Chains A and B, each alone.
Chain A
Amino acid sequence: MAIQIFQVVSQIIVCAFATWLYAHHLARKSRFSLRITAVLVAAAVGTIAAIASGYTLYPTLTDNTSFVFALIMFALVIVALTFAVRFLWDASAWAALFCASSGYLVQSIVYGLDRLLHVSGIVPAQYTGSLNIADVLSYIICSIFVLVLFHHFITGRLQRNGLLGINNPVMFFAVILAMVVALVLDLSIKDVISYDVPFRYMVVFSAIYVMICLFIVVSEFEILYNQRLQADVVTMERAMVEQERQFELSRSTIDAINRRVHDIRHHVARLLASEGDGAPGNEVLSEVVREINVYDAAVKTGNASLDVVLTEKGLLCKRDGITLSSVADGTALSFMAAADVYTLVGNALDGAIASVKKVADKSRRSISLNLRSQMGMASLSVEHYFEGEPALVDRMPAGEGFGVDTMLAIVERYGGTIVCTADGDVFHTEILIPQS
């Protein structure tokens, strides 16, 4: 009897803890302490009921009714765990099912490993009702070993929002089916243990059980969780496509402006020539030429994409009374995709412009951009005045929204680095990207 109590209690504890490992970084629901108390109480009641009725979580396969019963118990446990996860955390039914099934499987692995140790003789097998310290120790050691390994390789890699997008009914159907297979194998092993089967078969079956459970839980993680990450990539790509569209728009706009500027210059030059020196309208015309030159801001850096973004932002700055000066060797970024150049430099300048606009003194609205090839790397630096507290988290400006994340994503994709520093009243953004 004591052994059964120990088994039930320890299995429930490990199962709950394993499920918690998967679910704990989700957003907690309100009055979490109250909820968790309720869940613990329900679990305690369930445990006592299970013990009182004389069953463990894994009934045996002695006849058909007990097999059906085993299936029902299995389903009940999964459903109860899923409900518990949904009750405690803000998760979709699928995410909760993912945590529940994974937690259950981890428990199965612990249990299977413990049985393997017993069956292989490493831990002396006891079939009497009294509790042996070796059994307790064996189960505890297996739990710690498996849980630590799992946390290191799997649940430790779960991201804060990673479980939100899980939604794959077909996959779950397959997982549940596989778990039923494992359950049947388990029941068979339990049954067969009581016969006089040669020792080696027991070891083999027990080992196979552990491996099946391990396979299911790892596959579940890879397929479902990584699918979510892929969805993230798709979102990013969509944002990139949008940026490309804007890039094309900017480019055609700038071409149109350039053509107009060219035409106007031509007309003015002809006017000046026909009027002759000293004619009364000359001063006005010269003024017009100067104004036009401002809009002939067409920048030629040797990189078409960079030209577009510098011209576009240059015009924006001009309109807002911000001085933007760039010393840029466009060829430094020739290895980078056109859309990436536009997005990276565009976002950097957008951030600088937004920051500089907040400076009260208009004469301090100045941005300086430098791009060149050095040390086999592209070195891009943007400096500008700023006011107020520079919110820097992890050396990156915080609270700037998607712009900064995109910049970081692009830079990291090319194996580069970004570092931001606030030095008195000047903010520096420095980016270094290897060119090969």
Chain B
Amino acid sequence: MMYRILIIEDSEDAERTLRSHIERYAGETGIECDIIWKTSAFDLAGGDEAHFDLIFLDIELPGINGMEAAQSMREHDPETPIIFVTNLAQYAVHGYAVDALDFVVKPVTYYDFKLRMDKAMRKLGRTSQRSLSVPTESGFRVVAVADIAFVDVTNHDLAYHLANGETVVVRGTLSKIEAELEGTTFVRISNNCLANMAHIKEIKGTDILMAGGDTIYFSRSRRKPALETIARYLGGSL
């Protein structure tokens, strides 16, 4: 797996440290990294950057500072994980505003780096390209797992509710699909529903509001184990 990593850092020393950490990490975990280094965040803010899997962003930069650049970037790219690298702990605390994954304080030791890098790798591993082959009446249909908002079952009819509003209905059992979706971002929220945590907008008591507008039922008996899974998903350890 090849990961494209962008480092935006104006200090050459700091960049060298970070780069050596990434290379060491790549060696230890067997992944491949393509590291690009920029000294300014202008391109990032302008939205000119080609796609990257992970961005290490210094906050104190000449010209546009990292935090502002990240805000601009987020306007059109809500997904790419950002890890702030900084001297100023105060600023980084507000990293949540730009949905930053975490931050490291300079000088960055390898293990500080590794703790955050592991988290980034877990997050990247989540948005997998997995897909399901759904046997419809007109043949097999390939559905990307990431596009499925939730799956529910009534009698023996399994309904895949997709993010685009479409619903694909086939015959099947929920348990079988649960097993197939093992290791993805799906959680069992009731006896007859599997929800994709990436599509959950809000949880209010026994109602789960999905990003697409649907409201699905969160059963009391499934609540505790489901919440634990969601806690781990949101916390980043899943």
Residues on A lying within 8 angstroms of B by beta carbon are 293, 296-301, 310, 314, 323, 325-329, 361, 363-364, 366, 368, 370-372, 374-377, 379-381, 383-385, 395, 416-419, 421, 423, 426, 428, 430-432, 434, 436
Contact = CB atoms under 8 A, between A and B. Distances in A.
Interface in B205-238: 205, 209, 224, 227-228, 230-232, 234-237
Interface stretch (B45-53, B159-167, B173-181, B196-204): B196-204
Q: Which 7 A-B pairs have the closest CB atoms?
A: A381-B235, A430-B235, A376-B202, A428-B237, A432-B231, A379-B234, A329-B96
19 contacts: A297-B89, A299-B90, A300-B90, A301-B94, A327-B92, A327-B100, A363-B112, A366-B109, A368-B102, A370-B235, A372-B96, A376-B203, A381-B231, A383-B119, A419-B231, A428-B235, A428-B236, A430-B234, A436-B204
A299 B93 contact: yes
A417 B231 contact: yes
A238 B119 CA distance: 39
Interface in B108-138: 109-112, 115-116, 118-119
B95 interface: yes
Contacts, number: 125
A417 B227 contact: yes
A299 B89 contact: yes
B230 A432 contact: yes
Contacts of A325: 89, 92, 102-105, 112
Contacts of A428: 232, 235-237
A93 to B, nearest CB: 41
B97 interface: yes
A421 B232 contact: yes
A395 B224 CA distance: 12
Interface string B68-106: 000000000000000000011110111111001111110
Contacts of A426: 115, 118
Given A325-B112, A417-B228, A419-B228, 6 more contacts: A327-B102, A366-B111, A368-B102, A376-B203, A418-B231, A430-B234
A31 B204 CA distance: 54
Nearest to A365: B111
Given A417-B231, A430-B232, A370 B111 contact: no
Contacts of A419: 228, 231-232
A371 B203 CA distance: 17
A431 B234 CA distance: 9
A132 to B, nearest CB: 48
A314 B105 CA distance: 13
Nearest to B234: A379
B203 A375 contact: yes
A317 to B, nearest CB: 11
A431 B205 contact: no
Given A327-B102, A372-B96, A383-B115, A434 B203 contact: yes
A431 B89 contact: no
B174 to A, nearest CB: 22
B234 A368 contact: no
A376 B218 CA distance: 14
A293 B205 CA distance: 44
B234 A375 contact: yes
Contacts of B234: 374-375, 377, 379, 381, 430, 432
A323 B236 CA distance: 19
A371 B100 CA distance: 11
A377 B209 CA distance: 12
Given A327-B102, A417-B227, A385 B115 contact: yes
A327 B93 contact: yes
B96 A323 contact: no
Contacts of B89: 297, 299, 314, 325
B237 A430 contact: yes
Task: Report which residue of A296, A328, A377 has the largest number of chain B beta carbons within 10 angstroms of its beta carbon.
Answer: A377
Contacts of B231: 379, 381, 417-419, 430-432
A327 B103 contact: yes
Contacts of A383: 115, 119, 236-237
Contacts of B95: 327
Task: Report which residue of B87, B95, B111, B205 has the largest number of chain A beta carbons within 10 angstroms of its beta carbon.
Answer: B111
A375 B230 contact: yes
A84 B236 CA distance: 56
Contacts of A431: 231, 235
A434 B103 contact: no
A298 B109 contact: no
Contacts of B111: 361, 363-364, 366, 385
Contacts of A430: 231-232, 234-235, 237
A436 B96 CA distance: 21
A327 B230 CA distance: 19
A371 B96 contact: yes
Task: Report which residue of A310, A329, A432 has the largest number of chain B beta carbons within 10 angstroms of its beta carbon.
Answer: A432
Nearest to B116: A368
A286 to B, nearest CB: 13
A361 B110 CA distance: 12
Given A370-B235, A430-B234, A432-B231, A363 B224 contact: no
A298 B90 contact: yes
A357 to B, nearest CB: 15
A149 to B, nearest CB: 25
B109 A375 contact: no
A193 to B, nearest CB: 51
Task: Report which residue of B109, B112, B118, B209 has the largest number of chain A beta carbons within 10 angstroms of its beta carbon.
Answer: B112
Task: Report which residue of B109, B204, B235 has the largest number of chain A beta carbons within 10 angstroms of its beta carbon.
Answer: B235
Nearest to A366: B112
Nearest to A310: B93
A296 B90 CA distance: 9
